[in-house]
Amino acid sequence: MSSGIARTFDAMAGGYDQLEPWYEHLYAALHAILRTELAPSAQGRSGRALDAGCGSGFQTAILEELGYDTHGVDLSARMLALARGRARRSKLAVGDLQRLPYRDGSFEAATCCGSTLSFVEAPGVALGETGRGMRVGGRVLLECEHKWSLDLAWALASAATRDFLGYGVSARDLAAKLARPISEGFELDYPGYPPIRLFTRPELDAMLRDAGLRPLRAWGLHSITNVIPSTVLHGETLPPRLRRLYGWLCALDSRLAATAPARWLGNSLVVLAVKV
């Protein structure tokens, strides 16, 4: 599976940095959280940071900007080529998150964002490797796809109307997945991507604890904005009126990100954890 994911993202690399409206908001909100929560303490030096599944280097560059000695790992060689142009001082390597090439306790900070965990064959193993690489007190910022979101409702509505919205999932398949225990995630097909793993907060917290990481805070992104189906927001552009509405929704979404409703309904779940 790892080689298949690498080939998929190698093929996507050419246009990956041309952000769709969906990703414009996701990264703006996520990076604001990153800069606040992983900012080095005023008393000490930055130390080392890991960007696990660094892709084209969006988070890598911010960790570098914050003063960390930054390391990035990704399966896709073509994505890493983009990252090298964005984060020139960082040390980047092709590698598997389930077998990180670092010693125990190597890092003071880490990110695993861009839905990376949703494409890992064994996410619990990958989080265990990230936890192994952290020093006690080190902080990890994780962003992944969330199961319970308004977009899941849009996918269900699309499935019930002959895929009017283009989610590419059948009503029978989606109903079977939703029949699973409420706290259990599942994989879901999405146009243009390999199957994406959707996580629930309880299972994510359990995996973090098993990895020696204690969850501290969480945010939900793309909660309010998901009144517009994600298949629309993944288009290259939006019509002017819809673009104005989306801009207003993005501002509200960012303002509410730390609230319980946003954590319950956000398409992207962001969790800050600390190594214990």
pLDDT value for 107: 98
How would you list the strands of the sheet with 134-145, edge to edge?
91-94, 69-74, 48-52, 107-112, 134-145, 268-275, 213-221
pLDDT confidence of residue 41: 77
Mean pLDDT within 86-91:
96
pTM recorded for the entire structure: 0.95
Q: For position 8, what pLDDT does the model report?
A: 85
Mean pLDDT (the chain) is 94
Domain boundaries defined on the chain: 2-146+186-275
> 196-198 and 186-188: which strand pairing?
antiparallel
pLDDT in tens, 1-58: 477 888 888 888 877 777 899 999 999 999 999 999 999 976 556 799 999 999 999 9
Going by pLDDT thresholds of 50, 70 and 90, the confidence category of residue 275 is very high
CATH second-level architecture of 2-146+186-275? Answer: 3-Layer(aba) Sandwich (3.40)
pLDDT score for 43: 57
The answer to whether residues 265 and 149 touch, using CB atoms and an 8 Å cutoff, is: yes
Better-scored residue on pLDDT, 276 or 44: 276
Query: Which is higher by pLDDT, 171 or 129?
Result: 129
pLDDT at 231 over 80: yes
